[in-house]
């Protein structure tokens, strides 16, 4: 019986390719689930294409607010009202970051929250020479302003850029369920959601992180550039709160508002911190899994065969996994997903995660137990396929450029197999270089020492596009 699923991804909702979304770098959100990914303003600093100079535009917007705050004489005057109005954002984001169950709209910032933001800015901005990037840290200084609201604020300010990106991605993906949006006299094509016909804004993966670098007061103080006196004061508050068994947050906020050195230190620390993109290869938050890509690769699910022994079920599961992967990488350009935008091979874990996602589908069909990163002492093995106690098969995955391919792994696998009483092993080599020296040495060693290892090679060396290959072919 085929495994059932309760969630869908954007690509499935709109009938487009998950592989193409990954290739284009469009975030493929899981629908109905809070993916907890937000646009991090730090990542705008090095952005290109539609988002080139976007960070400067964001700062320019906040600079106008900072200059208004500078002119405020008292709360409630005309300048105060102008500053508050500029920090109000309606629910216009509609970003395709998960479509929360209660709707797809962004959170927005209304009159009450905008007044709170300006009140905090009026306290802090004079201490930091009215630095406009204070607003990137607004969640540190203002209560009830989380990463989601900061993200929606950024999308609202930079809306023409996000709309232009969405329009390009929508056309590139071939999304059919669309709506035309007119904004500031320019028309954009966006995906539209169901009967509501509301436009969705697509977001590039490279601008997203689970949390901005300073999402709360503790984060901000961790990166703050503080002198010894200020750091000692912060440490004192932490110690007193710990002794009293209370949260230090209210006291920390208070000291930041009272002590200009700490406020300036937070801003300086934030400025010095480099933008660090989210690690989608490792993907610790499991927000960009390979599951939708694996489902696309496998296609129509086969039925569980009958009359097979336990070891035959294991072998069929592994064979189908490798066959589907090999076909997609060698003939359907899935190999592109194993390289970054600069053409460099992604880390080995990206290949492992992709293989696991495919193997997991077949394992559920054939009733095979799939374990990842098993360790019996001699060393880690990527995958173990088992049925019962005796039907077992190991699969180790390595890039062809891995140095230990030649001098270590062929010794490790038999040792692990002996410890686990396993007689069948497959070393799956993902070939990403024309240099086969390591691979050839390994093959020779397997033959020379009669090692119980079956070597399977998948050729993932990047090929030029078909048009380029034909133009370079000899006449």
* DSSP code, position 429: E
**pLDDT tens track for 178-221:** 999 999 999 999 999 877 788 899 999 999 998 888 888 888 99
When comparing pLDDT for 401 and 374, which is higher?
401
With a pLDDT cut of 70, the percent of the chain lying above it is: 87
Strand duo 425-431 + 454-459: pairing: parallel
DSSP 153-183: HHHHHTHHHHHHHHHHHHHHHT--SEEEEEE
Return the H-helix or E-strand segment holding 387: strand 380-387
Residues contacting residue 407 through CB under 8 Å, at least 6 positions apart: none
DSSP 263-287: HHHHHHHHHHSPP----TTT-TT--
Cα-atom radius of gyration of the chain, to the nearest Å?
27
Evaluate if residue 359 carries a pLDDT over 90.
Answer: yes
Strand duo 38-39 + 30-31: pairing: unpaired
Torsion, Cα of 157, 159, 161, 166 (10° steps): 150
Residues contacting residue 86 through CB under 8 Å, at least 6 positions apart: 64, 65, 68
When comparing pLDDT for 256 and 96, which is higher?
256
pLDDT for the residue 413: 63
pLDDT for the residue 441: 80
Rounded Cα distance, 59 and 133, in Å: 6
**pLDDT tens track for 121-135:** 999 999 999 999 999
pLDDT for the residue 78: 97
Q: How confident is the model at residue 456 (pLDDT cuts 50, 70, 90)?
A: very high
Mean pLDDT to the nearest integer, 367-377: 73
As to burial, measured by CB atoms within 10 angstroms (0-12 exposed, 13-18 middle, 19+ buried), residue 186 is: exposed
Rounded Cα distance, 36 and 209, in Å: 8
pLDDT for the residue 108: 73
This prediction has a pTM of: 0.86
Mean pLDDT to the nearest integer, 356-368: 93
Could you count the other beta carbons within 10 Å of the beta carbon of residue 376? 16
Q: What is the residue whose two structure tokens read 């009669």?
A: 450
Q: How confident is the model at residue 409 (pLDDT cuts 50, 70, 90)?
A: low
Evaluate if residue 473 carries a pLDDT over 50.
Answer: no
Give the CA count within 13 Å in the CB-facing half-sphere of 301.
Answer: 17
pLDDT for the residue 102: 44
pLDDT for the residue 107: 63
Mean pLDDT to the nearest integer, 410-422: 66
Rounded Cα distance, 28 and 202, in Å: 9
Residue 137: strand, helix, or coil: helix
Mean pLDDT to the nearest integer, 100-111: 62
Evaluate if residue 339 carries a pLDDT over 70.
Answer: yes
Rounded Cα distance, 51 and 72, in Å: 33
Cα torsion angle, 54, 57, 61, 63, sign: positive
Q: How confident is the model at residue 254 (pLDDT cuts 50, 70, 90)?
A: confident
Evaluate if residue 281 carries a pLDDT over 60.
Answer: yes
Give me the residue spans of the domains in the chain.
Answer: 8-213, 291-472
pLDDT for the residue 197: 80
- Among 201, 61, 198, 208, CA closest to 138: 61
Evaluate if residue 375 carries a pLDDT over 80.
Answer: no
Evaluate if residue 65 carries a pLDDT over 90.
Answer: yes
Torsion, Cα of 152, 188, 19, 439 (10° steps): -90
Could you count the other beta carbons within 10 Å of the beta carbon of residue 183? 13
With a pLDDT cut of 90, the percent of the chain lying above it is: 46
Tokens of 372: 């990842």
pLDDT for the residue 271: 93
Q: Where are the beta strands (DSSP E) in 239-345?
A: none
Specify which residues 208 forms β-bridges with. Answer: 39
Specify which residues 187 forms β-bridges with. Answer: 182
Q: Do 427 and 413 meet the contact criterion of CB atoms below 8 Å apart? A: yes
Q: How confident is the model at residue 258 (pLDDT cuts 50, 70, 90)?
A: confident
Rounded Cα distance, 334 and 20, in Å: 9
* DSSP code, position 95: B
pLDDT for the residue 201: 92
- Which stretch of 54-68, 200-214, 438-452 has the lowest confidence by average pLDDT? 438-452
Strand duo 30-31 + 8-9: pairing: antiparallel
Residues contacting residue 157 through CB under 8 Å, at least 6 positions apart: 57, 58, 61, 89
């Amino acid at each position: 019986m085929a495994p059932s699923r309760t969630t869908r991804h954007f690509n499935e909702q709109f009938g487009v390719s998950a592989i193409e979304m990954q290739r284009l770098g469009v975030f493929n959100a899981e629908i109905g689930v809070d993916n907890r990914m937000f646009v991090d303003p730090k990542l705008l600093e090095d952005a290109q294409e539609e988002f080139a100079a976007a960070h400067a535009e964001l700062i320019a917007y906040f600079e106008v607010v900072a200059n208004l705050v500078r002119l405020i004489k008292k709360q409630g005057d005309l300048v105060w009202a102008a500053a508050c109005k500029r920090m109000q954002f309606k629910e216009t984001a509609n970003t395709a970051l998960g479509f929360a169950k209660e709707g797809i709209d962004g959170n927005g910032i209304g009159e009450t929250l905008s007044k709170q933001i300006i009140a905090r800015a009026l306290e802090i901005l004079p201490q930091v020479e009215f630095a406009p990037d204070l607003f990137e840290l607004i969640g540190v200084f203002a209560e009830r302003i989380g990463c989601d609201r900061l993200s929606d604020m950024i999308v609202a300010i930079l809306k023409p850029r996000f709309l232009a990106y969405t329009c390009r991605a929508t056309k590139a993906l071939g999304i059919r369920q669309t709506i035309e949006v007119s904004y500031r006299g320019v028309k954009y094509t966006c995906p539209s959601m169901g009967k509501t016909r509301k436009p969705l804004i697509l977001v590039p993966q490279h601008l997203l992180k689970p949390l901005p670098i300073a999402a709360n007061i503790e984060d901000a103080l961790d990166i703050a550039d503080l002198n010894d006196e200020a750091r000692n004061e912060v440490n004192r508050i932490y110690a007193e709160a710990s002794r009293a068994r209370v949260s230090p947050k209210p006291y920390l906020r208070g000291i930041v508002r009272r002590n200009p050195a700490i406020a300036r230190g937070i801003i300086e620390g934030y400025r010095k911190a480099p933008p660090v993109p989210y690690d989608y290869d490792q993907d610790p938050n499991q927000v960009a899994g390979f599951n939708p890509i694996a489902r696309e690769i496998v296609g129509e699910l086969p039925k569980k065969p009958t009359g097979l022994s336990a070891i035959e079920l294991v072998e069929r599961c592994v064979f189908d996994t490798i066959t589907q992967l090999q076909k997609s990488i060698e003939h359907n350009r899935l190999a592109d997903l194993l390289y970054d935008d600069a053409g460099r091979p992604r880390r080995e874990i990206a290949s492992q995660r992709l293989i696991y996602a495919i193997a997991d589908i077949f394992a559920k069909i054939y009733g095979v137990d799939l374990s990842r990163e098993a360790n019996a002492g001699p060393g880690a093995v990527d995958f173990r396929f088992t049925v019962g106690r005796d039907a077992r098969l190991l699969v180790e995955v390595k890039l062809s450029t891995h140095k230990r391919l030649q001098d270590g792994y062929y010794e490790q696998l038999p040792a692990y197999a002996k410890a686990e009483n396993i007689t069948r092993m497959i070393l799956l080599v993902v070939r990403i270089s024309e240099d086969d020296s390591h691979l050839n040495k390994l093959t020779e060693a397997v033959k020379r020492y009669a090692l119980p290892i079956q070597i399977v090679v998948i050729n993932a060396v990047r090929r030029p596009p078909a048009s380029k290959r034909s133009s370079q072919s000899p006449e």
